[in-house]
Structure 1
Amino acid sequence: MESEYKMNKLLYKLEAYLKMSVSRREFMKILIGGLVYFLSENQFLKFAFAKNSDAMPRVKKSIDCAHDLVAVKGLNSGKNVEKAIELLGGIEKFVKKGDVVLVKPNMAWDRSPEQAANTDPQVVATIVELCYKAGAKRVNVFDIPCNDDRRVYENSGIQKAAEEKGAKVYFADHWNVLKAKFPYKSAMEDWPIVRDAVVCDTFINVPVLKHHGLTGLTLSMKNLMGVCSGTRGLIHIDIAKKLVDLTDFINPDLTVIDATRVLTKNGPSGGSLKDVINLDTVIASTDPTLADTYACKLMKKDPMSVPYLKEAFERKFGKSNLEKSDIKELTI
């Protein structure tokens, strides 16, 4: 991890200084500097010492849409987003005047848009623009990257595209979290969730459809790991139940899956353009399970082979029967 590399580098410098003749004052500066850096990079300590409180699951809005799901295919990803949301009933169904909106893309990897490891920048920018047109007070955009935050935000193209439309794009604040509480027994109980993901008026989940080495595919439920602080690697233990619980806690108001450029193997980070295909499709739904199930159809993959979709099906969490759902497909 990037933080571990930086910490080791700092320790090497400290060792070099200690071999030199330094004053007590200089030594204390080095020691305190190292301690401050360690505290700033350690997410466990951030949660332990952060000001936090308990939070119950977000209350999902009751939104009556024209269709259960809309899938739009076309060469312009921004136009695809506009049309998909329009066919659901319009952005005004989800965003009201004065709302604080969180748009949560997949922005985890130091990759270019062409490498398809992150959400298409134009998809994110279009959603931000639509939210402001609907009267949003503020539109926040963040993720907790797996690579260096600054490099990911810049090289993904998302920060620039979203900020040009007026979004507030920032690094997640691990000192400002809420402890997740559930009305049932959950392994995600007390997990630190970034506060802005819980207290927002509208949560729009905007994952990219891609291959994932552990879960088969990264879809909307998997994308929600990006609002979790703490030691996220532990979520991979019994990941299916945890992701369904997490989705139940966040209760996204709208899910927009970007299937513009799709990473077909070596995910989730990818890197080779040979692994990328163009599907030029955007999926929109209020039902994360249904959206993820439809995305599996695009990839010609059995939804039951994706652990968290199998868990959702067994728990009757959302709709998973495409044939019995009202699905609108359009090519523009």
Structure 2
Amino acid sequence: MAAFPTIDRREFLARCVRAGLSVAAAGALAIGFYDRKGPDGVSDAGALVRIPDFSISGMKGKLCIARGTDRAATVKQAFAALGGMNEFVKPGERVLLKVNAAFASPPTLGATSHPELVGAVVRLCLDAGASRVTVTDNPINDPASCFALTGIDAAARQAGAEVVLPREPLFARFSVDRGRLIRNWPVLYAPLARVDRIIGMAPVKDHHRSGASMTLKNWYGLLGGRRNIFHQDIHTVIQELAVMIKPTVVILDGIQSMMRNGPTGGSLSDLKPTGTLIVSSDPVAADAAGAALLDRRPEDLPFIAKAAAVGAGTADYRTLNLKEIQT
């Protein structure tokens, strides 16, 4: 067997410097083409878009709590326990995966959707006959850098998906029915308008304002504008997001959970192996079940009760068609 080539210390350091300069240049270029603020909310009430209901009536109330450590194997078996991905995605349907790509950080830090899981779900959708799978998010940091450094871009494309980065023309104004905060607000609408099904994918994380960031908080990544103002009433905006998006199914990744310093984390010491992945047609139930991974109860997270109160799901997840499996 041929030996691997070796380099001396000087050459190694030179290569590191060249690589660092390349990454910095790429990030600077991406920032130059991105409006960090996004479009502003506007007061004109005309021409507001409507977001479809992507849920499947016959599949409501299903939930699987799968224990394991291999994300690809665990998500495959979790869907199998619910009847298979073809229960959620039919041949010819177009699917959107709303991932969490909020931060330009490596997947090992647990602040974003794991690329291994993203790739596995893309393949499950295509195997079920999806005609197209699209992956998107509107990150807090520069989108191109976030999708690249998290590994989501490469994983999604290699599995056969299209990646859509947010751009001004892709946003449209939307109001939540009887909502107080999301009124005439820019939403990343174009990817939603051209799909039949939507799957939400979120890691389990501590959050310094809401107490937790899971599948319901994940829809925050569809908002444009100066959305940070909503943090002043975080539980209400999560409630309105639960009304805004009625997903086909959600996937909550608690293979490892960010126990503190969320939602950004930044240290491996913030993470705890919790070996759990939750798949559900009910996002409120998924978050209620996921609360235990952060050593919290559903009642410790006000947004869960608020979302349940407006009919977005049930907080009493054990009343659902619950499957628990060990992978």
Counterpart amino acid of residue 226 in structure 1:
G
Aligned mates of 1:169, 1:261 — CA distance in 2: 25
Contact 1:56 1:249 survives alignment (8 Å): no
Aligned residue number for residue 224 of structure 2: 229
Aligned residue number for residue 288 of structure 2: 293
Is residue 192 of structure 1 aligned with residue 186 of structure 2?
Answer: yes
- Map residues 95-244 of structure 1 onto 2, 5 A cutoff: 95-199=89-193, 200-244=195-239
Q: Which ranges of 4 or more aligned residues in structure 1 deviate by more than 6 Å?
A: none
Task: Report the Cα offset of residue 290 of structure 1.
Answer: 0.2
Cα offsets for 1:108-137 (capped at 9, x unmatched): 112211111111111111110111112212
Counterpart amino acid of residue 306 in structure 1:
L
Q: In terms of Rg, which structure is larger?
A: 1
Gap runs ≥5 in structure 1:
1-8, 10-36
Aligned mates of 2:189, 2:311 — CA distance in 1: 28
Counterpart amino acid of residue 178 in structure 2:
Y
Identity %: 28
Task: Report the Cα offset of residue 53 of structure 1.
Answer: 4.1
Q: Please tell me the root mean square deviation across aligned C-alpha atoms, in Å.
A: 2.4
Task: Report the Cα offset of residue 203 of structure 1.
Answer: 0.6
Cα offsets for 1:14-38 (capped at 9, x unmatched): xxxxxxxxxxxxxxxxxxxxxxx79
Is the partner of 2:314 in helix, strand or coil?
coil
Cα offsets for 1:229-288 (capped at 9, x unmatched): 111112213222222222211111110101112111111111111111112221000101
Counterpart amino acid of residue 312 in structure 1:
A
Is residue 269 of structure 1 aligned with residue 264 of structure 2?
Answer: yes
Cα offsets for 1:284-330 (capped at 9, x unmatched): 00101000000012222021221311312444531111332232111
Aligned mates of 1:235, 1:40 — CA distance in 2: 19
> Among residues 265, 277, 281, which one is paired with 1:282 in the alignment?
277
Aligned mates of 1:223, 1:203 — CA distance in 2: 13
Is the partner of 1:64 in helix, strand or coil?
helix
> Among residues 58, 67, 80, which one is paired with 1:64 in the alignment?
58
Is the partner of 1:212 in helix, strand or coil?
coil
Aligned residue number for residue 310 of structure 1: 305
Aligned mates of 1:279, 1:239 — CA distance in 2: 26
Task: Report the Cα offset of residue 222 of structure 1.
Answer: 0.6
Is the partner of 1:218 in helix, strand or coil?
coil
Change (3 A) 1:99 1:295: same
Contact 2:288 2:304 survives alignment (8 Å): yes
Cα offsets for 1:24-83 (capped at 9, x unmatched): xxxxxxxxxxxxx799555236x77xxx94222422333434962101111211011111
Cα offsets for 1:129-152 (capped at 9, x unmatched): 111112212111121122232222
Gap runs ≥5 in structure 2:
1-27
Greater mean alpha carbon deviation, residues 264-273 or residues 189-198:
189-198
Aligned mates of 1:79, 1:53 — CA distance in 2: 44
TM-score (norm 1): 0.82
Counterpart amino acid of residue 278 in structure 1:
P
